[in-house]
Amino acid sequence: DGGITQSPKYLFRKEGQNVTLSCEQNLNHDAMYWYRQDPGQGLRLIYYSQIVNDFQKGDIAEGYSVSREKKESFPLTVTSAQKNPTAFYLCASSSWRGASDTQYFGPGTRLTVL
């Protein structure tokens, strides 16, 4: 089945550690996105990528890093520089780089910093 997978579903991290969240899609989509969701808040864009080996910062990129070495994969690293990393992280993809394009989302990863 085509879709977006994120792993792990739950992730626990100690303060000061970097952690990488996985996002894979087999929809043959060009664009991929990372969002952060906090309780009672909408989604905020962290990073997005339109093509392989290229990505742009979103609204809240500080403390995060990404890579796009393959079309299917867009991993997100939460670094120790991120002051408040506990949140729900959602990955999305879309087939075309236009405003009309519909983004489809993965199941999310819930990160908790202990």
Partner 1 sequence: AQKVTQAQTEISVVEKEDVTLDCVYETRDTTYYLFWYKQPPSGELVFLIRRNSFDEQNEISGRYSWNFQKSTSSFNFTITASQVVDSAVYFCALSEVSGANSKLTFGKGITLSVRP
Size of the site for partner 1 (CB under 8 A): 29
d(CA 44, CA 63): 14
Write out the DSSP string of 50-104: EETTEEEE-TT-TTEEE--SBTTB--EEE-TT-S---EEEEEEEESSSSTTPPPE
Among 56, 69, 70, 81, binds partner 1 (CB under 8 A): 56
d(CA 38, CA 43): 8
Of the candidate spans 11-19, 20-28, 44-52, 68-76, the one that interacts with partner 1 by CB under 8 A turns out to be 44-52
Of the candidate spans 12-20, 36-44, 65-73, 75-83, the one that interacts with partner 1 by CB under 8 A turns out to be 36-44
Binding site for partner 1 (CB under 8 A): 31, 40-45, 48, 50, 56, 58, 88, 90, 92, 94, 96-108, 110
